[in-house]
Amino acid sequence: MDCCEKFLQQVCDELAEDINSELCERLRTHLETCQDCRNQVASMRSTVSLFQCLKDKQVPRDIHERLFKLLNVTDDA
């Protein structure tokens, strides 16, 4: 399974969709044709990868808060 297929599987899992569903097929088609979305996905992957590398390190609170704000997610910690 290549990285795009794995990504689509994860997205579809989060959406509780089968990888072969119409929604997942539309996502796949869109990502194949939209460079902006592919760039956004690549950026998100890089951010997540970098953040995961820091899991054993203490990230300064202000950086942590800015990252969560940038990603538009809540911090439940």
Contact present, 34 and 26 (Cβ < 8 Å): no
In-domain check, residue 38? yes
In-domain check, residue 63? yes
Range of the domain at 66: 3-71
Contact present, 31 and 37 (Cβ < 8 Å): yes
For residue 12, what pLDDT is reported?
Answer: 67
Amino acid at 42: A
The mean pLDDT values, 10 residues at a time, for the chain of 77 residues are 67 73 83 84 80 76 84 71
Total count of domains within the chain: 1
- Tens of pLDDT, residue by residue over 35-56, are 888 888 788 778 778 777 777 7
Spatial distance between the Cα atoms of 22 and 19, rounded to a whole number of angstroms: 9
In-domain check, residue 46? yes
For residue 2, what pLDDT is reported?
Answer: 63
For residue 41, what pLDDT is reported?
Answer: 79
Tally of CB atoms within 10 A around 29? 10
